[in-house]
């Protein structure tokens, strides 16, 4: 590879939350190890600014990504670093996801300051979460649990927990671990029951499609994790076919195994009454087709009706 692509300082666009900065630093370290110079450029997004509304009310498209995408387009940064889960399923035609970084454990977890907190099926505790998927799955598996909104970055949510705005907090393990709060974990949900949101635990790197091909190649080489990439292609194809953003209670998790790739995914109605979930297995090269096929199966089983009733309820 030509040395000269590495003479360029890679400006890394990131949100300003501590988790976002951790992820951007992590990408920067990998780029430095590959010989690049790096610089972080902090960009605030609508999702950071509007904290008094739940995400499904702000609108699902690009709340955490749009301002970063503008910076890519205007050439203020070479790459943008996102939590893969926050990236809309179809990205604008002039941009592309050039890499997916190695995934962390994917599970949802419960945090509490009370080490004796037990999540039992009949529990009637109040859990802080703003995710439609988590709320609906809790209704399904823990019908007596109540939920309370907990928007904001991890530190804000922990403060709400400290103020006893709820008894416990439900989050992705990945962010909790990266921020060093794993000592507060009192419950880890199994990934086959609380299937995570597509992309959970992975970091996606976005760039302009017209970035120099040599540079793109070098960025991919430094940052992409092949196994994660294959799984994310399957999960994102599922999400795209479901036409659901982060405000739809769908879920998908792909894993590589000896025979290729397997993907489990589905959707749950907001009241937790209907859960559709299936698993497909296929060769790795068909990861995207498999994700699409799974989504079509779920839509045909009644997933389309669940989506329709959610949209009607929200007046969309
Ligand atoms: N906007 C929510 C969001 N996006 C990414 C993470 C956590 C880290 C990850 O899943 O990669 C979170 C918080 C959470 O779900 O607990």
Superfamily of domain 108-188: Periplasmic binding protein-like II (3.40.190.10)
CA-wise closest residue to 12 among 72, 99, 96: 72
Whose Cα sits closest to atom 1 in ligand 1? 86
Whose Cα sits closest to atom 9 in ligand 1? 201
Residue 11 pLDDT: 98
Whose Cα sits closest to atom 2 in ligand 1? 86
Structural tokens at position 211: 């970035």
Q: How remote is the CA of residue 146 from the centroid of ligand 1, in Å?
A: 21
Helix (H) or strand (E) holding 99: strand 95-100
CATH topology classification for 3-103+202-224? D-Maltodextrin-Binding Protein; domain 2 (3.40.190)
- Which of the residues 86, 116, 271, 304 is marked catalytic? 86
How many percent of the chain have pLDDT more than 90? 85
Q: How confident is the model at residue 50 (pLDDT cuts 50, 70, 90)?
A: confident
Domains 3-103+202-224 and 108-188 share a fold: yes
Residue 226 pLDDT: 97
Distance CA 228, CA 176 (A): 20
In tens, the pLDDT along 220-270 reads 999 999 999 999 999 999 999 998 666 789 999 999 999 999 999 999 999
- Residue, of 294 and 61, whose pLDDT is higher: 294
Residue 90 pLDDT: 93
Mean pLDDT in residue range 36-43: 97
Q: Is 271 a known active-site residue? A: no
Q: Which residue has the tokens 């890394």?
A: 12
pLDDT of 314 > 90? The answer is no
Q: Which CATH number fits domain 239-313: 3.40.50.300, 1.20.120.1200, 3.40.50.970, 3.30.160.40?
A: 3.30.160.40
Mutate to test the pocket of ligand 1, among 15, 19, 47, 81 (most ligand atoms within 8 A of CB): 19
Domain residue ranges of the chain, discontinuous segments joined by +: 3-103+202-224, 108-188, 239-313
Mean pLDDT in residue range 196-205: 98
DSSP state of 270: T
Residue 245 pLDDT: 62
ipTM for the complex? Answer: 0.96
Distance CA 205, CA 23 (A): 10
Q: How remote is the CA of residue 4 from the centroid of ligand 1, in Å?
A: 36
Residue 82 pLDDT: 97
- In order of 81, 110, 171, 214, 220, the CA distances from 157 in angstroms are 22, 12, 10, 42, 34
Distance CA 299, CA 301 (A): 5
CA-wise closest residue to 193 among 235, 141, 231: 141
Handedness of CA 188, 149, 272, 290 (dihedral sign): negative
Round the average pLDDT of the chain to a whole number and report it. 94
């Amino acid at each position: 590879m030509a040395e000269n692509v590495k003479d360029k300082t890679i400006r890394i666009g990131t949100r300003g939350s501590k988790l976002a900065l951790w992820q951007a630093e992590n990408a920067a370290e990998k780029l430095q190890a590959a010989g690049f110079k790096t610089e972080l450029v902090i960009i605030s997004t609508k999702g950071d600014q509007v904290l008094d509304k739940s995400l499904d009310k702000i609108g699902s498209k690009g709340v955490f990504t749009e301002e970063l995408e503008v910076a890519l387009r205007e050439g203020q940064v070479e790459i943008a670093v996102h939590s893969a889960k926050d990236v809309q399923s179809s990205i604008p035609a002039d941009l592309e996801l050039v890499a997916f970084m190695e995934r962390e454990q994917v599970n949802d977890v419960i945090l509490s300051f009370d080490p004796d907190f037990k999540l039992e099926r009949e529990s009637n505790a109040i859990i802080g979460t703003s995710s439609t998927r988590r709320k609906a799955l809790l209704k399904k598996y823990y019908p007596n649990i109540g939920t309370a909104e907990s928007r904001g970055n991890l530190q804000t949510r922990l403060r709400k927990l400290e103020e006893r705005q709820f008894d416990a907090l439900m989050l992705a393990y990945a962010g909790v671990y990266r921020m060093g709060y794993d000592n507060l974990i009192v419950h880890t949900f199994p990934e086959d029951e609380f299937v995570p949101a597509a992309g959970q635990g992975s970091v996606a790197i976005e760039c302009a499609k017209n970035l120099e091909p040599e540079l793109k190649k070098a960025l991919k080489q430094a940052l992409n994790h092949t196994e994660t990439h294959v799984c994310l292609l399957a999960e994102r194809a599922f999400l795209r076919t479901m036409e659901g953003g982060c405000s739809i209670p769908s879920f998908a998790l792909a894993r590589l195994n000896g025979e290729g790739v397997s993907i489990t995914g589905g959707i749950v109605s907001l009241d937790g009454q209907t859960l559709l979930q299936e698993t497909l297995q296929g060769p790795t090269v068909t990861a995207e087709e498999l994700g699409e096929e799974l989504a079509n199966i779920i839509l045909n089983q009644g997933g389309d009706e669940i989506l329709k009733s959610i949209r009607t309820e929200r007046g969309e």
